[in-house]
Chains A and B, each alone.
Chain A
Amino acid sequence: MKPPQHTERKPSRPTLWLITRGERLRYVVATVSSTISSVCTLGLPLVTMYALDVLDQRDFGYANSLLLAIAEYFGPNTPYASYLVVSAVFGVVIALLASAFQFGRDRLSAQASEGIARRLRKVLFDRIQRVKASFFDREEIGDLVQRCTSDVETVRRYMHSDVDALARALLILSVMFPVLWWRNPTLALYSVVLMPVVVLGGIYFFKSVSQLFKQTDEAEGKLTAVLQENLTGIRVVQAFAQESKEYERFENSNREFRDRYIRLNAFEAVYWGISDFVCMLQSAIVLIASGYLVMNETLTIGELALFTSLSGIVIWRVRQMIDVVEHTGKTLVSLRRINHILASEQEPVQPVPESASIRGEITFEDVSLTYDGNSKQLDNIDLSIRAGETIGLVGRPGSGKSTLIRALMRFYPIASGRILLDGIDIESIDVTWLRKQIGCVLQEPFLFSKTVRENLQFGNLAASEDEFNTATRLAAIHTTINEFSAKFNTKIGERGVNLSGGQRQRMALARALLTRAPILILDDVLSGVDTRTESAILRNLGDPERRVTTIIVAHRLTTIRQVERIVVMDQGRIVQVGPHEKLMYEPGPYRELCDIQNLLDETIQYETEVASHG
C-alpha cells in the first residue's frame, strides 16, 4: 500500500501579496472594471452640467455637441425638451454602465476573496493534521480554532472589500480631478485642499489608538477564555458549588471587556465627528468658492453643480479609504496568527520500506524521552518484544507507560536511543507507514461526531459488513450497537447517542481491531469495563488465529497476568520484566501487587467455601 503523497514544501509565510496567488488576474480585471465604472460615474454629472448651462443661458452653445446632434435628429421642433430627454436617457445609460462594471468588479472580487479563503482553510486544515503531535501541548485548541476561522474571515473580508480600496480611491481621484481641472483649475485645487488633513489625520488616529484596539481584543480574548473554562468544567463547578466564585470571575472579565470597548469607541466617536466635520467643510469650501466664482461670472451654474457633486464623491471616498488603514492593521495581525500554524513543524515524509508485510517485532534500544528538556519521562528503556508476543505494561500513574506508546507511535521524538520495528529504525521510515502497522487504542479514546459506522471505518475504510460484525463482537460492543435506534448508522454525539466511558473504550477497540494491523496497542482500554466483559474481550484477543504483537497497559492483575511477559515501569524506567509466574516470586513492586491480589484470592476461596457450605 502506498502512503498518500503530499509534496513537501517549505512552510510558506503568507503575506498579503502571496495569498493572492492564483487570483491576481481577477484582481487586475476587477481593477480595470472599477476604472471603467469610475469613468462612467462621471457621465450623469457632466450631462447635467451641460443641460443646466443650456437652460440657464438659453444658449445651445453650451450644449454637448454629441447630445445636441442626437437631440436635433429626434426632435428638431422642440429643441429644449428633446435635448433634456436625450441628456437624461444618455445619463441613465451611462449610469447603468457604471453599475454594470461595478457589479463586475464586485463579483470578481467575491470570487477572488472566497478563493483565497478557501485555499487558506484547506492549507490550514492540512497543516493542522500533519503538524507534530507535540505542537498541541503548547496550544489551546480554542485559540487554534479561532485562528482557522475568524482570522481567515478577517482576511477574507479584507480581500473582498478593502484590498483595492486604495487603488479605487486613487482611481476616482485621477479620473475626477482632471475633469475638475479642465473646467476650472483654481476651483479644482480648492476641492481637494482638505484632503491631506483627512488622510493624515486618519492615519494618525489609527496609529494612536492601535494600543486601545489591542487591549480591547485582549479583553475579549480573556472573556472567551473564562467562559470556555467555566463551561467545560461546569460539572465540577456545580459539584463543588463554586458558582458564585465563577460568577465573580466572569463578571470581572465581562465588565473589563465592556469598559475597554466603550473607551475605544469614545475615541472613535471623536474621530468620526472631526473627520466628518472636515469633509463637510471641504464641501462647504467648494460650494462657497463656486458661488463666488459664479457671482463673478467666471463659473457657470452647470459647473457649480458639477463641482458640488463630484467633490462630494471624492472626499467621502477618500474618507472611507481611511478605514482601510485600520482594516489593514487588523488583517496583518490575523495573517500573523494564521502564519503561526502554517510555520509549525510538520511531520516529515520519509521513504516507505519495501517489504509488503511486517512480522511485528519491536525493540527499544536505550530509549530516553523528555517532554520539556528537563525531567526524563523515559529513562534508558531497553526492551525487545517478539513478533506475536503479548506484553503487559504496569506501573503507577506517570511512570511512563503511555509515553512509551507515544514514542512507538512517533507522536513524540525520542531524545536518544533507537526504536526498531522488524529491525528497521522507526525514525528512518515514513511515519504514516509506521502507524498503519499499528492498531492503537489511546487512553481516553476520541470518537468523532459521526455515525458508529463512520467511526469504525476510521480503522478500515473498505471493511465489509462481516468485518464490522466480527470486530464489534470481539470488542464486546456488538450488542450495545444493535440496541441503538439506528444501529450502525446511529450518530455519536449530542444529536445521537451519548456513550458511557466503557462503551467508548470498546468502540475504540473495535475500530483498532478493524485495522488488522500486525501490532495492537491498548492503552488502559478496559478500565471502564466490568471484569466479566474484560475477560471475554481478552479471551477473544488471545484467539491464535488473530494473534498479533500486543501491548496492553492495564491496572487489574486479572488482566495483566494473562499476558506472556509483564513490564513493570517506575519513574520512566523498566524495573522488572518477565512472566507473571516469575515476577511474583521476585521481590519488587510486582510482587507487592500480587500480594494484594493473593490476599484477595485467599479470601475469595475462603468466603466462597464458607458461603456454599454453610
Chain B
Amino acid sequence: MADVYSETDLISTDEFQDSENAKMEVSLWQRLFGYVLHYRGHLLVVGICGAVVGATEMTYGLVTKWLIDDIQANGTQASLSTWAALIVAASAVVSIAMVGLVFYVSKLRAMASFDIRRDAFLNIQKQSFKFFDKRPVGWLMARLTSDCERLTDILTWAFIDFVWGTAMMLSMGVVMVILNWKLALCAFSILPIIGWATIKFRRSILRTARDVRSTNSLITGSFNESMMGVLTSKSFVQESKNLQEFTHLTDRMYTSSVKNLTLAALYMPIVMTMASVSTGLVLSIGGMEFLNGILLAGSLIAFLLWVRYFFEPTIEMAHWFTEMQTAQASAERILAVMDATPDIDAGDMLAASQHNGVSSIKVQEVDFAYSEQKTVLSEINLQADSGETIALVGPTGGGKTTLANLLCRFYEPTSGRILVNNLDYREIPLYWYRSQLGVVLQHPHVFSGSILENIRYGRTDASDSEVFEAAKLAGAHGFIEAMEQSYSTEAGASGCKLSAGQKQLLSIARAILADPQVLVLDEATSSVDTDTEQHIQRGLENLLKDRICFVIAHRLSTIRNATRIAFIHEGRIVELGSHQELLKIDGQYADMYRQQSMRDSIASSFDLADKTSE
C-alpha cells in the first residue's frame, strides 16, 4: 500500500547514498549553465567586467615598475603626477567594473535561480501521486530551496572566478614573460607542484565534504522526526535514547567536519608557501640579473609584487572544483525533478471540455501495480451512472483506496481502461476531469489559513454563505461556530487544535462546496461518531441525486444504502451487487455484515431492541 502519505518521510535520511563518483559530469553542468546562458546580455557584461578586473590586477605592479624606472632614470625629473593619474584612473576603471560585476552576477544568479525553481515547481505540479509516494516533502523542499541557491551560486560565481582568474593569470603571465621570460619561467616553475597538491587535496577534501553533507542531512532529518514524533517519544519516555542516537550523529559530524576543515587549512598554506618559494626564486635569480644590469630595479620589484598574487586564483578555482563536485549530486537531483515525465498525461491544461458533467464511469478489466513485483488490483470491472452510489468494502489492505485513487486518476491503470462518459479518461483533459471531482482523502489535509479559507479551497469563488451551507451539510458548522473566532479561526499548518474527526468534517465540507459531479469519499467519516455520520449522510442524499458517488467505509450503516456494493478482497472484486443481493449470496459481505451486529448473538440484541421499543 503505497497510497499513504506518511509524515515520517518528511525529510529523507539517506540523501547522499548516490553519486560517489569523483568524475565531473560535464553534461549536467552544461544543461544547468543553459539557465545562465539564457541571459546572454547579462552574462556578457559579467564576463567583460570580470576580465577587466582580472586583467587590471597587474596594473599596480606595472605602474610601480614604471615609476621606479622613471625615478632611477630621471631622478627628480620623474613625472610622478603622470603615474599618480594613471594609477587612479586604473583604480577607477577596476572599481566601476567591480560594481558592474557584482550587480550583474547577483542579478544573473537571482534570475537563474528564479527560472530553475519555477521550472522545477511547474513540473512537480504535473506529477502523479506515484511521484510523491517516493519523494518526501522535505526532499523536494531541499531541491527547490537550498539546492537551487547553491547551484546558481556555482553557475555564476564560479564562472566569474574562472574568468577573473584566467584573465589575471594570463595578463600577469604575459607581462612577466615580456619583461623577462627567464625570470617568468622561474616564477612559474612551482606551478606543477601547486597543481599536484591541488589534485591531491581536492580528492580528499571532496570525500570529507560529502561526508559532512550526508551527516548534515541526517541531522536535519533527525531534528525533523524528533519534532514530528514528539508526543510519541514523550508517551514512551524515549527522550534519553533519542538523544543518545543523536549524539552519535553529532559526533560523526564533528569528526568529519574537523577533518574537512583541517584539509582545507592545510591546502591553503601549501599554496601560499609555494608562492613564497616562487618569491625566493625571483628574488635570488632576479637579484643577480639586476646586479648584472640585465633587469631594471622596477621590473624586479614588480615581479616580487606579482608573484605574491599570481597563484591566488588557483585556490579559488580549486575551491570551485570541490564545490562543483560536492554539488554534483544536487545538480543530478534537481535535473531529475525537472525531467521527471509525469506518468499521467494531463492533456491540454486549460482546454474547456465540451462534456457537460459526468454521466457515467466504467471500469473495464483494470489491473494495477505500484511496483512490478506486486499487483494490487486485478480484473476490476465496475460501472456507475448518474445518481448511483457505489460502496467499496472489504478488509484493510485489500486495495479499496487504490481503486479510489485510480478513479480520481491520481494513478492510471497498469492495464485495462476507465471510461468517463464512454471515453477513456486518458483522452479527457485531466484538469477538466478533476474539476468534476470532489474528493475526501483518507488523511485529511488542513492548510494554514482560516477555516473559511480551508473550506473555500473546494471552490474559490464560493460566497461566505455557500461555505456555511457546505459546513452545515458536513456537520462541521456546529463546532466551528463554537470556536472563539468562528470561521476566521486559524486552522494552522500544525493543525494541532483540530481533532482528526474535525479535520474530516472540514474536508467533507470542502468537497461538498466543490459541488462535484463525482464524489469520492475514502473513509471520510472514520473518526466521526455515528450520530454525526448519519447527519452527514442525510445531507449528502440530496446532493447526490444526479451525481456519482464512490464511498469507502468500514461502518456498514454508511454503505448499506449504496446502489451497488463491491466487496474487494486481495485486489479483486469478489462480490458485487446491491445490499440485498449480496446478502442472498451469503458470502463474505454477509459475513462482514453480521459482524456489525451487536456481537454476542443476534438473538440477544433482538431482545434488547424489543425491550427498547416497548
Within 8 A of B (CB), among A104-119: 106-107, 110-111, 114-115, 117-118
Chain B positions within 8 Å of A356 at CB level = none
Offer 29 A-B interface pairs, CB within 8 angstroms, sorted by A.
A52-B301, A55-B297, A88-B281, A89-B280, A99-B272, A102-B272, A115-B254, A124-B223, A149-B220, A232-B493, A235-B129, A243-B126, A257-B114, A265-B110, A301-B297, A308-B305, A374-B484, A397-B499, A402-B499, A449-B221, A458-B236, A493-B8, A499-B4, A529-B554, A530-B396, A562-B599, A600-B560, A604-B594, A607-B580
**Cβ–Cβ contact B530 & A126, under 8 A:** no
Within 8 A of A (CB), among B274-329: 276-277, 279-281, 283-284, 287-288, 290-291, 297, 300-301, 304-305, 308
User: Is residue B460 contacting chain A, with contact meaning CB distance below 8 A?
Assistant: yes
Within 8 A of A (CB), among B243-293: 243, 246-247, 250-251, 253-254, 257-258, 261-262, 264-266, 268-270, 272-273, 276-277, 279-281, 283-284, 287-288, 290-291
Looking at the complex, which of A288-296, A383-391, A417-425 is the stretch in contact with chain B?
A288-296
Q: With A and B bound together, what is the CA distance between A528 and B68 in angstroms? A: 89
Q: With A and B bound together, what is the CA distance between A98 and B579 in angstroms? A: 89
Would you give the shortest CB distance from B502 to chain A, in whole angstroms?
A: 5
Q: When A84-B284, A261-B106 are in contact, do A273 and B484 touch as well, CB less than 8 Å?
A: no
Looking at the complex, which of A205-213, A322-330, A589-597 is the stretch in contact with chain B?
A589-597
Q: When A141-B228, A145-B224 are in contact, do A494 and B12 touch as well, CB less than 8 Å?
A: yes
Q: With A and B bound together, what is the CA distance between A595 and B497 in angstroms? A: 31
B11 and chain A: residue at smallest CB distance: A145
Within 8 A of A (CB), among B402-440: 408, 410, 431, 434-435, 437, 439
> What mask results when residues 572 to 614 of chain A are scored 1 for a CB within 8 Å of chain B, else 0?
0000000001001100010111111110111111011011100
A301 and chain B: residue at smallest CB distance: B297
Chain B positions within 8 Å of A502 at CB level = 396-397
Residue in A230, A309, A398, A501 whose CB lies within 8 Å of B442: A501
User: Is residue A122 contacting chain B, with contact meaning CB distance below 8 A?
Assistant: yes
> What mask results when residues 140 to 158 of chain A are scored 1 for a CB within 8 Å of chain B, else 0?
1110110011000000000
Residue in A136, A261, A581 whose CB lies within 8 Å of B230: A136
Q: With A and B bound together, what is the CA distance between A458 and B277 in angstroms? A: 61
Residue in B8, B99, B240 whose CB lies within 8 Å of A449: B8
User: Is residue A240 contacting chain B, with contact meaning CB distance below 8 A?
Assistant: yes
**Cβ–Cβ contact B395 & A530, under 8 A:** yes
Chain A positions within 8 Å of B250 at CB level = 118, 121-122
User: Is residue A524 contacting chain B, with contact meaning CB distance below 8 A?
Assistant: yes
Would you give the shortest CB distance from A78 to chain B, in whole angstroms?
A: 10
**Cβ–Cβ contact A294 & B71, under 8 A:** yes
User: Is residue B353 contacting chain A, with contact meaning CB distance below 8 A?
Assistant: no
With A280-B94, A494-B6 given, can you name 16 additional A-B contacts, CB distance below 8 Å? A95-B279, A96-B273, A129-B226, A239-B437, A242-B460, A265-B110, A284-B91, A287-B67, A288-B83, A301-B297, A446-B7, A500-B397, A527-B523, A555-B555, A558-B595, A608-B602
Would you give the shortest CB distance from B155 to chain A, in whole angstroms?
A: 15
Q: With A and B bound together, what is the CA distance between A589 and B529 in angstroms? A: 11
> What mask results when residues 553 to 571 of chain A are scored 1 for a CB within 8 Å of chain B, else 0?
0011110011000000001
User: Is residue B173 contacting chain A, with contact meaning CB distance below 8 A?
Assistant: no
Count chain B CB atoms within 10 A of each CB in A272, A502, A603 and give the residue with the most. Answer: A502
Count chain B CB atoms within 10 A of each CB in A125, A229, A461 and give the residue with the most. Answer: A125
**Cβ–Cβ contact B457 & A240, under 8 A:** yes
User: Is residue B505 contacting chain A, with contact meaning CB distance below 8 A?
Assistant: yes
Q: With A and B bound together, what is the CA distance between A515 and B232 in angstroms? A: 13
User: Is residue A518 contacting chain B, with contact meaning CB distance below 8 A?
Assistant: no
Q: With A and B bound together, what is the CA distance between A243 and B127 in angstroms? A: 11
**Cβ–Cβ contact A231 & B140, under 8 A:** yes
Q: When A52-B297, A224-B145, A394-B529 are in contact, do A129 and B599 touch as well, CB less than 8 Å?
A: no
Residue in B223, B281, B308 whose CB lies within 8 Å of A145: B223
**Cβ–Cβ contact B396 & A262, under 8 A:** no
User: Is residue B332 contacting chain A, with contact meaning CB distance below 8 A?
Assistant: no
Chain B positions within 8 Å of A84 at CB level = 283-284, 287-288
User: Is residue B25 contacting chain A, with contact meaning CB distance below 8 A?
Assistant: no
Interface size on B, residues (CB 8 A): 201
Q: With A and B bound together, what is the CA distance between A458 and B63 in angstroms? A: 74
**Cβ–Cβ contact A448 & B8, under 8 A:** yes
User: Is residue B574 contacting chain A, with contact meaning CB distance below 8 A?
Assistant: no
Q: When A273-B95, A503-B397, A585-B612 are in contact, do A136 and B443 touch as well, CB less than 8 Å?
A: no
Looking at the complex, which of A7-15, A248-256, A467-475 is the stretch in contact with chain B?
A248-256
Q: With A and B bound together, what is the CA distance between A198 and B277 in angstroms? A: 32
Within 8 A of B (CB), among A322-340: none
Q: When A140-B493, A605-B602 are in contact, do A398 and B534 touch as well, CB less than 8 Å?
A: no
- Going nearest first, the 9 A-B pairs with the smallest beta carbon separation are A397-B501, A265-B106, A106-B265, A99-B269, A95-B276, A88-B280, A273-B99, A110-B261, A269-B102
**Cβ–Cβ contact A44 & B556, under 8 A:** no
Q: When A118-B251, A235-B445, A533-B396 are in contact, do A596 and B557 touch as well, CB less than 8 Å?
A: yes
**Cβ–Cβ contact A240 & B258, under 8 A:** no
> What mask results when residues 533 to 557 of chain B are scored 1 for a CB within 8 Å of chain A, else 0?
1100000000000000000001111
**Cβ–Cβ contact B530 & A494, under 8 A:** no
Would you give the shortest CB distance from B442 to chain A, in whole angstroms?
A: 5
Would you give the shortest CB distance from A431 to chain B, in whole angstroms?
A: 8
User: Is residue A359 contacting chain B, with contact meaning CB distance below 8 A?
Assistant: no
Within 8 A of B (CB), among A455-483: 458-459, 461, 480
Chain A positions within 8 Å of B111 at CB level = 258
> What mask results when residues 128 to 170 of chain B are scored 1 for a CB within 8 Å of chain A, else 0?
0100111111001100110000000000000000000000000
Q: With A and B bound together, what is the CA distance between A561 and B304 in angstroms? A: 94
Q: With A and B bound together, what is the CA distance between A372 and B99 in angstroms? A: 53
Chain B positions within 8 Å of A270 at CB level = 99
User: Is residue A238 contacting chain B, with contact meaning CB distance below 8 A?
Assistant: yes
**Cβ–Cβ contact B219 & A121, under 8 A:** yes
Chain A positions within 8 Å of B125 at CB level = 234, 237-238, 243, 246-247
Q: When A231-B137, A262-B107 are in contact, do A129 and B239 touch as well, CB less than 8 Å?
A: yes
Chain B positions within 8 Å of A56 at CB level = 297
Prevailing SS type, chain A contact patch: helix
Looking at the complex, which of B115-123, B177-185, B380-388 is the stretch in contact with chain A?
B115-123
User: Is residue A48 contacting chain B, with contact meaning CB distance below 8 A?
Assistant: yes
User: Is residue A187 contacting chain B, with contact meaning CB distance below 8 A?
Assistant: no
Q: With A and B bound together, what is the CA distance between A593 and B534 in angstroms? A: 10
User: Is residue A130 contacting chain B, with contact meaning CB distance below 8 A?
Assistant: yes
Chain A positions within 8 Å of B586 at CB level = 611-612
Within 8 A of B (CB), among A382-431: 394-398, 401-402, 409, 411
User: Is residue B23 contacting chain A, with contact meaning CB distance below 8 A?
Assistant: no
Chain B positions within 8 Å of A562 at CB level = 599
User: Is residue A137 contacting chain B, with contact meaning CB distance below 8 A?
Assistant: yes
**Cβ–Cβ contact A601 & B527, under 8 A:** no
User: Is residue B75 contacting chain A, with contact meaning CB distance below 8 A?
Assistant: yes
Would you give the shortest CB distance from B332 to chain A, in whole angstroms?
A: 18
Chain A positions within 8 Å of B114 at CB level = 254-255, 257-258
User: Is residue B197 contacting chain A, with contact meaning CB distance below 8 A?
Assistant: no
Q: When A89-B280, A304-B68, A558-B598 are in contact, do A432 and B237 touch as well, CB less than 8 Å?
A: yes
Would you give the shortest CB distance from A287 to chain B, in whole angstroms?
A: 6
Chain A positions within 8 Å of B175 at CB level = none
Residue in B4, B90, B235 whose CB lies within 8 Å of A409: B235
Chain A positions within 8 Å of B239 at CB level = 4, 126, 129-130, 432
Chain B positions within 8 Å of A142 at CB level = 493
Chain A positions within 8 Å of B458 at CB level = 240
Q: When A88-B281, A106-B265, A140-B494 are in contact, do A125 and B232 touch as well, CB less than 8 Å?
A: no
A568 and chain B: residue at smallest CB distance: B529
Chain B positions within 8 Å of A228 at CB level = 137, 141, 493
